[in-house]
Amino acid sequence: MQNRLFGYLLFPLLVLFLSARKPANDFKSFVIEFVSLYNQAGFPEIDYDYHGYFETIPKMETLNEHEAFFQKTKENLGKYNRSKLNTEDQTIYDHIEYETDFSLERIALEKEWVSDGRNIPENGLHSLKNHKAWYKFFIKRYTSTGRTPEEIFDMGKAEVFKVKREIKKIQDASGYKDSLAFYTYLKSDKFQHTDKNKIIKEFEKIDSTVRANMNGFFGKLQLPKVYPMEWPNANAFTPPGMYLNHSGNAFGKDVFQFNFYGQKYNARAMEWLYMHEAIPGHHLQSVFRQVKPGTVQSIFLYPGNFEGWACHMEYFGKDFGLYNDAYSYLGKWEWDLVRSARLVIDAGIHYYGWTKAEALKYWKETIPGQDEIAEREVTRVTNWCAQALSYKVGSGFIDDMKIEWMNRNPKKKQRDFYLAYLKSGNIPLLVMYKRLIGEQESK
């Protein structure tokens, strides 16, 4: 908070400094200066709860200063000839351009909102005066794509249909004709692990299997050990898992935590969770994305990039020697169904103005056997506008990008695309597209 306050107080001086200075002679100096000024400005951090985000929108005078900063940055950036930069610098150029344009879009919305009296809508964005533009902004903020609200809604419905079809296939193969009996069976103790040491051993076994198959998917890779551990102080609403690399925790090791609340863990959620949190999900990506301090990549976060990657990788369990057991595979689809329904509900509430009752009705009609978390999910999607989109929308964007890349590079393998993606690091997916697809075009 003190840093933020310091930043706000200092900000007008920074704008003056930027305005008075000639742009740095070389592009690298310009980038260093941009990062430094951005860090000193102390812009508010992302608050998942949109109510909190609106609370932190500063007063008009400050917004004008922020706007001047980004306009000046844009103006100075335009003085460099992108085509004369090397490939890496072109991506940095595109990244700064993306952030500058996005910030100016945001500030325009914020200024309008402040002028209109700073009214924070209670139950979703839909009651905002300019809710369509606001929702598009939130989609971009979390997915870093240009997907439209209509596309999100349609994608959610299509994914729900597809996932339910996959679940039905598994149900049919299991011999359960009756869905009620099937879901009752899924809730039985057979699928609850209660011994933590056994869970850890099971994760270690999965780890060995995945590592044994990893080279076939990515080529030769050396990845550091990742430790499974119980999520300390978890509760029923704690997510199923979380990855923390060695710099993100106090014990200095790469770990993923699983929710062992109530001394229970869903046995069907082991393989997909490992894929998501460890290899080839977040742990693998974190090894590639060693972001250096002072770089553009160090000052922004793109959930669509990293959650999209981890979600995307979950679909490849069979390539890594997993999902051989039908119920482990089912576990992947069960969680995918939750993620898919969230897309529909998110767009439903914030864009189409669904009431809570409508959202709950959709949940209950769509997701069998999980009525007890319906309230929680609808509240989460209402308050954390668009956050839940980062997984499926990010994953879908990566998939589309891969297909296009493969079409343009018929002699290359899938692994080449994925390695190119991983090596590109923490950049918005739209910039990733320009880098991977645009780069190919230029060749």
Partner 1 sequence: MKQLFILLLILGTCAKVGAQDLPRRVFLGIRMQNLTDDMRNIMGIGGTKGVLIDEVIANSTASIAGFKRGDILVSVNGTVVNATGEVVAAIAPYKPGDKFNYELLRNKKKVNGKAVFTAVPEEKYADLDMIYTDVKSVAGQQRVIISKPKNKTKMPVLVFIGGIGCYSLDNSLDTTRSESQLLNMLSRQGYMCVRPEKPGVGDNAKSCKACGEVSFSEELDGYVQTIKKIKLRPDVDSSSVFVIGHSMGGVFAPLIAQKTRLKGTISYGTIGSNFIEHLLKTRRTIGEAYGWAPDETDAFIKDFCECVGYYFVEKMTSTEAAGKKPDCGEYLSVFDFRSRAYNDELYGFNIPALWKPFEGKALFMWGESDFVSSKEDHEILTGSVNFYHPGNATFISIPAADHGMQVAATFKDARENPGSYNTKVGKEMLNWLQNHL
Long-range contacts of 53-58 (CB under 8 A, 24+ apart): 54/113, 54/118, 54/120, 55/120, 57/110, 57/113, 57/114, 57/118, 58/8
Token pair of 146 as six digits: 């240009």
Binding status of residue 379 toward partner 1 by CB under 8 A: yes
DSSP state of 260: -
Residue 434 contacts by C-beta under 8 Å, 6 or more apart in sequence?
91, 94
Contact between 386 and 350 (Cβ < 8 Å): yes
Minimum distance from residue 379 beta carbon to partner 1 (Å): 4
Contact between 270 and 331 (Cβ < 8 Å): yes
* Contacting range for partner 1; rule: CB under 8 A; set: 47-55, 91-99, 176-184, 263-271: 47-55
Q: Quick one: 51 or 318, whose CB is closer to partner 1? A: 51
Binding status of residue 5 toward partner 1 by CB under 8 A: yes
Minimum distance from residue 425 beta carbon to partner 1 (Å): 24
Minimum distance from residue 398 beta carbon to partner 1 (Å): 27
Identify which of 313, 309, 326, 341 has the alpha carbon closest to the alpha carbon of residue 164. 341
- Residue 33: Cβ-neighbour burial (10 angstroms; 0-12, 13-18, 19+): middle
Q: Quick one: 52 or 321, whose CB is closer to partner 1? A: 52
Minimum distance from residue 254 beta carbon to partner 1 (Å): 10
Identity of the residue numbered 52: G
Q: Quick one: 4 or 162, whose CB is closer to partner 1? A: 4
* Cβ count within 10 A of residue 273: 26
Q: Quick one: 5 or 301, whose CB is closer to partner 1? A: 5
Token pair of 45 as six digits: 């951090």
Considering only residues 1, 117, 189, 442, which one is a binding residue for partner 1 as defined by CB under 8 A? 1
Token pair of 360 as six digits: 């709950």
Q: Quick one: 123 or 209, whose CB is closer to partner 1? A: 123
Binding status of residue 376 toward partner 1 by CB under 8 A: yes
Q: Quick one: 378 or 388, whose CB is closer to partner 1? A: 378
Q: Quick one: 381 or 427, whose CB is closer to partner 1? A: 381
Identity of the residue numbered 82: R
Minimum distance from residue 66 beta carbon to partner 1 (Å): 17
What element of type H or E holds 141?
helix 131-143
State the chain's maximal CA–CA distance in angstroms. 75
Query: Which residues, 205 to 264, sit near partner 1 by CB under 8 A?
Result: 227, 229-230, 232-233, 235-237, 249-253, 255
Beta bridge partners of 256: 228, 243
* Contacting range for partner 1; rule: CB under 8 A; set: 3-11, 76-84, 341-349, 412-420: 3-11
Q: Quick one: 5 or 403, whose CB is closer to partner 1? A: 5
Beta bridge partners of 257: 229, 242
Contact between 427 and 95 (Cβ < 8 Å): yes
Considering only residues 9, 13, 180, 403, which one is a binding residue for partner 1 as defined by CB under 8 A? 9
Radius of gyration for the chain, computed over Cα atoms and rounded to the nearest angstrom:
23
Minimum distance from residue 348 beta carbon to partner 1 (Å): 17
* Contacting range for partner 1; rule: CB under 8 A; set: 4-12, 158-166, 309-317, 415-423: 4-12
Residue 378 contacts by C-beta under 8 Å, 6 or more apart in sequence?
345, 349, 356, 359, 360, 363
| Cα(74)–Cα(96) distance, integer angstroms | 8
Binding status of residue 49 toward partner 1 by CB under 8 A: yes
Q: Quick one: 29 or 249, whose CB is closer to partner 1? A: 249
| Cα(411)–Cα(153) distance, integer angstroms | 35
Considering only residues 63, 343, 367, 378, which one is a binding residue for partner 1 as defined by CB under 8 A? 378
Considering only residues 375, 412, 415, 438, which one is a binding residue for partner 1 as defined by CB under 8 A? 375
Query: Which residues, 105 to 124, sit near partner 1 by CB under 8 A?
Result: 120, 122
Binding mask 173-212 for partner 1 (x = CB under 8 A): ---------------------------x------------
Q: Quick one: 59 or 79, whose CB is closer to partner 1? A: 59
The residues of the shown chain that bind partner 1, judged by CB under 8 A, are 1-2, 5, 8-9, 49, 51-52, 55, 120, 122, 200, 227, 229-230, 232-233, 235-237, 249-253, 255, 375-376, 378-379, 383
